[in-house]
């Protein structure tokens, strides 16, 4: 693409396009980057730059870009049946086959799926399902869902309400009632340097799980329907919980008979080296919202995997469930998702993340911990984070006005690497087909971005 066309598109973009999660005015002044094409783990922009996509788009392009098999699956399906719905006792082969495949891959106690168009819609569906479940069980007062601060569960009103992002709650009026938030297991921020200063990760993990029990007692156990959480919090800053956290949470939920909803929108489909993050942490969720990596982002599709306990009640006692989306189980999206899962299986992508790439990234990424700007370098599977600090020993952060994370993100992009910033936490989540050599390249580019950031911050 030539430069005049870049300018023309930027002008039209500025005039007509409101971007998600964007300061509309600031973007208008800067102009957007225009991404033109992509292959493997690289994206290309209209200025002719090739950039290593360290975020797999938005944590979703698990199989990487340019997979002809996925294009063919979409083309064939569009020729045969581009669209039909699953309402009113109809269905089609792609939705049925995808449902079967998902239930094969999921933990044993999950044998049903409800399709949606996105992760946000999946979490809206979760909220309706858990409340319906308890109403059918003659416990209609079990309405409250406990979620975590700084969690991300989507941008619809229910998704935003379940999420724990304060800036989102502050915009757009009241949240959906009956949702409560507890602390997140963010050891670097709160266990090591924050209010729990100096606690070991294990003690801190226990304390965060205790917060769940405290909240249940405060609300009254008979009023709590479910607890929802991501296995590793993604958009909140790639927050990997201490090992003590999930076993302690499981014990609390079992004690009070509360449903467990594990949001697998990021961690599902191989990110942590298992098909689902729940399998990595030996969790037995009642519901699992999914999206993103389900189709490697090639087409929009999501869903809720529903465990037997909830499914049997909804099926046997529920009557009609007044809920669904025009694109629930869209045949073209389902055909692409099915092909995506088949390719991942054939190519052994998930086992490779667990046995080879995850451990390799862990070793190489940890080396960045020696950089003067880095307070902690952590990773699990193919998700990683760097905590930027002004002082390594005290964990003191940079003045917020310096926006060190955004600076590092922009300098990283200039160098040829997409790294995302959440405050002053830098995040990566590359395609699962990345090679060891490309991991080396990613780490080298991240180091250069850190060096440039350090120079700019003086
Ligand atoms: N849940 C989690 C954990 C996510 O990270 C996201 C998106 O980033 C969502 C839900 C929402 O998914 P979508 O953007 O497809 O609506």
pLDDT at 452: 98
Give the HSE-up count for residue 256: Cα atoms under 13 Å, Cβ half-sphere.
26
* Dist. CA 295 → ligand 1 center (Å): 14
Predicted pLDDT of residue 220: 98
Exposure string over 171-208, b if 16+ CB within 10 A, otherwise e? eeeeeeeebbbbbbbbbbbbbbbeebeebebeebbbbb
> For ligand 1, is residue 118 a contact (CB within 6 Å)?
yes
CB-based contact 405:388 (threshold 8 Å)? yes
Query: 153 CB under 6 A from ligand 1?
Result: yes
Cβ atoms of 216 and 146 within 8 Å: the answer is yes
Q: Which of 56, 290, 292, 327 for a ligand 1 pocket mutation test, highest count of atoms within 8 Å of Cβ? A: 292
Closest-lying ligand 1 atom to the alpha carbon of residue 267? 3
CB atoms within 10 A of CB 252: 18
Q: Closest ligand 1 atom, CA of 120?
A: 16
- pLDDT score at 291: 98
Rounded to an integer, what distance in angstroms lies between the CA atom of residue 283 and that of residue 262?
A: 9
Task: Establish whether residue 120 lines the binding site of ligand 1, counting it when its CB lies within 6 angstroms of any ligand atom.
Answer: yes
Collapsed DSSP state (helix, strand, coil) of residue 394: coil
Q: How far apart are CA 125 and CA 128, in angstroms?
A: 5
**How far apart are the C-alpha atoms of 67 and 61, rounded to whole Å?**
11
ipTM for the complex? 0.99
Question: DSSP string covering 95-107, please?
Answer: HHHHHHHHHHHS-
C-alpha span between 183 and 151 (Å, rounded): 10
* Atom number of ligand 1 nearest to Cα 151: 3
What's residue 2's pLDDT? 58
Q: Is 234 in the pocket of ligand 1 (CB under 6 A)?
A: yes
Q: What is the pLDDT of residues 70-92, one digit of tens each?
A: 999 999 999 999 999 999 999 99
Q: Report whether 185 contacts 242 (CB < 8 A).
A: yes
208-213 contacts at long range (C-beta below 8 A, 24 or more positions apart): 208/182, 208/183, 208/184, 208/241, 208/245, 209/244, 209/245, 209/248, 209/249, 209/251, 209/252, 210/248, 211/182, 211/183, 212/146, 212/182, 212/249, 212/252, 212/253, 213/252, 213/255, 213/256
Could you identify the residue written with the tokens 């309706």? 128
pLDDT in tens, 355-394: 999 999 999 999 999 999 999 999 999 999 999 999 999 9
383: helix, strand or coil: strand
- Positions of the chain with pLDDT under 50: none
> How far, in Å, is the centroid of ligand 1 from the Cα of 421?
17
Instruction: Give distance in angstroms: CA of 126 to centre of ligand 1.
Output: 13
Strand partners, 51: 43
127, 160, 162, 266: which to mutate for ligand 1, most atoms within 8 A of CB? 266
| Range 248-252, long-range pairs (CB < 8 A, 24+ positions) | 248/205, 248/206, 248/209, 248/210, 249/209, 249/212, 250/283, 250/284, 251/209, 252/209, 252/212, 252/213, 252/216
Q: What percent helix, strand, coil does the chain show, rounded to 5?
A: 45, 15, 35
Among 55, 154, 267, 303, the mutation site with the greatest number of ligand 1 atoms within 8 A of its Cβ is: 154
List 43's β-bridge partners, or say none.
38, 51
Torsion, CA 6, CA 12, CA 17, CA 18, rounded to 10: 80
pLDDT value of position 458: 84
- Residue 150 beta carbon below 6 angstroms from any ligand 1 atom: no
Query: Ligand 1 centroid vs 7 CA: distance in angstroms?
Result: 32
Is 358 exposed, middle or buried, given 0-12, 13-18 or 19+ CB atoms closer than 10 A? buried
- Of ligand 1's listed atoms, the one at least distance from the Cα of 119 is 12
CA distance 229 to 22: 25
d(CA 242, CA 239): 9
- Contact in structure between 450 and 371 (CB atoms under 8 Å): yes
pLDDT of residue 28: 82
Length of the chain: 458
291 lines ligand 1 (CB under 6 A): yes
Please work out whether the CB of residue 119 comes within 6 Å of at least one atom of ligand 1: yes
Quick check: CB of 154 below 6 Å from ligand 1?
yes
CA–centroid distance, 298 to ligand 1, in Å, is 15
Q: How far is the CA of 185 from the centre of ligand 1 (A)?
A: 19
**160 close to ligand 1 (CB < 6 Angstrom):** no
Q: pLDDT (tens digit, 9 = 90+) per residue, 194-251?
A: 888 889 999 999 999 999 999 999 999 999 999 999 999 999 999 999 999 999 999 9
In the reported structure, the alpha carbon of residue 296 is separated from the centroid of ligand 1 by a whole-number distance in angstroms of 14
């Amino acid at each position: 693409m030539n430069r005049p066309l870049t300018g023309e598109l930027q002008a039209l973009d500025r005039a007509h396009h409101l971007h998600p999660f964007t300061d509309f005015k600031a973007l208008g002044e800067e102009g957007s980057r225009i991404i033109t094409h992509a292959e493997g783990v690289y994206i290309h922009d209209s200025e002719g730059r090739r950039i290593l996509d360290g975020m797999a788009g938005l944590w979703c392009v698990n199989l990487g870009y340019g997979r002809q098999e996925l294009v063919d699956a979409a083309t064939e399906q569009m020729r045969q049946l581009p669209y039909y719905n699953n309402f009113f006792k109809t269905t089609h082969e792609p939705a049925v086959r995808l449902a079967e495949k998902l239930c094969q891959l999921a933990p044993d106690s999950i044998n049903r799926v409800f399709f949606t168009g996105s992760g946000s819609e999946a979490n809206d569906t979760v909220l309706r399902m858990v409340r319906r479940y308890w109403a059918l069980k003659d416990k209609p007062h079990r309405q409250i869902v406990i979620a975590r601060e700084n969690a991300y569960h989507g941008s619809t009103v229910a998704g935003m309400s379940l999420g724990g992002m304060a800036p989102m709650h502050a915009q757009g009026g009241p949240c959906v009632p009956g949702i409560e938030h507890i602390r997140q297991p963010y050891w670097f921020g709160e266990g090591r340097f924050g209010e729990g200063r100096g606690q070991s990760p294990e003690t801190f993990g226990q304390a965060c799980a205790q917060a769940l029990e405290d909240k249940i007692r405060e609300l009254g156990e008979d009023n709590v329907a479910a607890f929802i959480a991501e296995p590793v919090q993604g958009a909140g800053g790639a927050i990997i919980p201490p090992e003590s956290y999930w076993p302690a949470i499981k014990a609390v939920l079992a004690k009070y008979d509360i449903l467990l909803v594990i949001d697998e929108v990021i961690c599902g489909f191989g990110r942590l080296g298992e098909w689902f993050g729940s399998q990595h942490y030996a969790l037995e969720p009642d519901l699992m919202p999914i999206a993103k990596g389900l189709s490697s982002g090639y087409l929009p599709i999501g869903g809720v995997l529903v465990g037997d306990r909830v499914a049997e009640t909804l099926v046997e006692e529920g009557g009609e469930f007044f809920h669904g989306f025009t694109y629930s189980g869209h045949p073209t999206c389902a055909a692409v998702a099915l092909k995506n899962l088949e390719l991942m299986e054939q190519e052994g992508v998930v086992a490779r993340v667990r046995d080879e790439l995850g451990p390799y990234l862990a070793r190489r990424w940890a080396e960045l911990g020696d950089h003067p700007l880095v307070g902690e370098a952590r990773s699990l599977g193919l998700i990683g984070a760097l905590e930027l600090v002004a002082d390594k020993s005290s964990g003191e952060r940079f003045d917020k006005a310096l926006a060190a994370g955004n600076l590092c993100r922009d300098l990283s992009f200039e160098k040829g690497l997409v790294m995302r910033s959440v405050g002053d936490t830098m995040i990566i989540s590359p395609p699962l087909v990345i090679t060891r050599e490309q991991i080396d390249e990613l780490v080298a580019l991240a180091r250069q971005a850190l060096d440039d950031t350090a120079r700019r911050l003086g």
